[in-house]
Amino acid sequence: MIDFYGNRLNTYKASLHTHSTNSDGSYSPDKVIELYKGQGYDVLAFTDHGFVTKTAELDGKGMTLIQSLEMHPKSPSPNSPWHLVALNVSDQFMYDSQREAQSLIDYAVADGAMVICAHPYWCGFTSAQIAALKNISAIEVYNTSTRYIGRQFSMQTWDELSDMGHVYPVTAVDDMHSSHDLFRGWTVIAAADKSIGSVMDALKHGRFYATMGPEFTRLSYKDHVFEASFSPCCEVIGLTNPPRGFCVAVEDKDGYGTGTETLTECRIKIPVNEQSDRWFRLQIKDEKGRYAWSAPIVIPAGQ
C-alpha cells in the first residue's frame, strides 16, 4: 500500500520494458513471464523492437500483461534512432518504422497507448531534442541493460526537461534482453487494482515511481511542506529548479567522518517561488547504493 498524495492505493511491481525472442531477447515470452512472476512482479509489458507481442496468446500467470512494443523512428541524433516504448497498443496497431517520429507517437496515443522516451542518456538524446516531442508521458530514468557501459542513469536529462517546463514522471526498467539484465530496476504503480484499465489509468496520470530497490509508503505535499515515508535509506535529497536543492541526508553530511544516518521519513519545507513555477522531486538511496525517484510535483508561482 502507499499513501499517494492523500489517496491510499495498492502498489504493483511492474516491468515496463522487456524483450523476448520476438526481437533480440534470449528468452521466449513464456520464459520471461515465468522469470518475472517468480520475483513477485504484478505487471509486465513486452516491448520487442518493432513487434507487438500479442498478450491474448499468452498466460500471464496472474500478472497483468500490457500489449506493447519499442518503436524506432528516425531521430535528430546522429547516434541513434529514437527508442520509444509504447505501452498498451491495440490489436489494430500497425507499426511503420519509416513514419516520422511525431506522427508515430500521435498515432500510438490515438490508439490508446502511452509513449515513454527510453534510455535517453544511452542514445545521446539531448533534453532539447526530447522537449520537441509532443505527447510523450514519461522518461526512463534507469535502464539496467545499459549499466555495462555506464549509461544507465538519465537524471540530468530528466531535470533539464523539468527546467524547461516539460515535467515528466519516470520509469525504472531492466530493458531485459538476457539474464544479466534481470530484476535491477522496476516501476511501482499505485492503483486501486491491477486490471489493465486501472494500471493504464495510473500510468497515464503519473501515479507511479521508479526504483532500484527502495520503496515509498507515503508521498505528501500540503501547505508548502513535502513529506515522505520510505524503506531505510542513507541518502535523501529533494531536487528542484537549479541552483537550489534540499539535503535531508547524505553520506558524512557534516564532514566529520561520523558515518551515515539511516532515515525512513523526511519533511521538507519548500519556499514559495514568486516569479516562476517550481518543480520538486525526492531522490532516495539505500545502503546498497540503489535509488528510488518520486515523480516531480509542480508548485505554481506565488502559491
Residue numbers at the binding site for Zn ion (CB under 5 A): 70, 83, 118, 175
Between 13 and 83, whose beta carbon lies closer to Zn ion?
Answer: 83
Closest to Zn ion by CB, 159 vs 175, is 175
Minimum distance of Zn ion from residue 70's CB (angstroms): 5
Q: Which residue has the cell 527510453?
A: 118
For 68, the enclosing helix (H) or strand (E) is strand 64-71
Cα 268 to Cα 221: distance, rounded to the nearest angstrom: 9
Q: Which residue is nearest to Zn ion (CB)?
A: 83
Strand partners, 226: 221, 268
In the complex, the smallest distance separating the C-beta of residue 83 from Zn ion, rounded to whole angstroms, is 3
CB atoms within 10 A of CB 9: 18
220-234: buried (b, 16+ CB within 10 Å) or exposed (e) per residue?
A: ebeeeebebbbbebb
Residue 217 Cβ vs Zn ion, minimum distance, rounded to whole Å: 30
Provide the terminal-to-terminal Cα distance of the chain, rounded to the nearest Å.
30
Instruction: Give me the least distance between CB of 75 and Zn ion, in Å please.
Output: 12
Distances (CA, A) of 87 to 42, 103, 150, 214: 15, 16, 26, 25
Nearer to Zn ion, 13 or 17 (CB): 17
Based on CB atoms, which residue is closest to Zn ion, 118 or 141? 118
Q: Tell me whether residue 24 or residue 59 sits nearer to Zn ion (CB atom).
A: 24
User: Alpha-carbon distance 303 to 299, whole Å?
Assistant: 7
Looking at the Cβ atoms of 151 and 204, the one nearer to Zn ion is: 151
State in angstroms the smallest separation of the CB of 140 from Zn ion: 9
Smallest separation (angstroms) from Zn ion to the CB of 71 = 10
CA distances 177 to 48, 83, 120, 138, 170, Å, are 10, 15, 18, 22, 21
Q: How far is the CB of 94 from Zn ion (least distance, A)?
A: 20
Cβ proximity to Zn ion, 174 vs 286, nearer residue: 174
Residue 271: asked if its preceding bond is cis (omega within 30°), the reply is no
82 pairs with which residues across the strands?
none
Q: Residues 1, 183: contact at Cβ < 8 Å? A: no
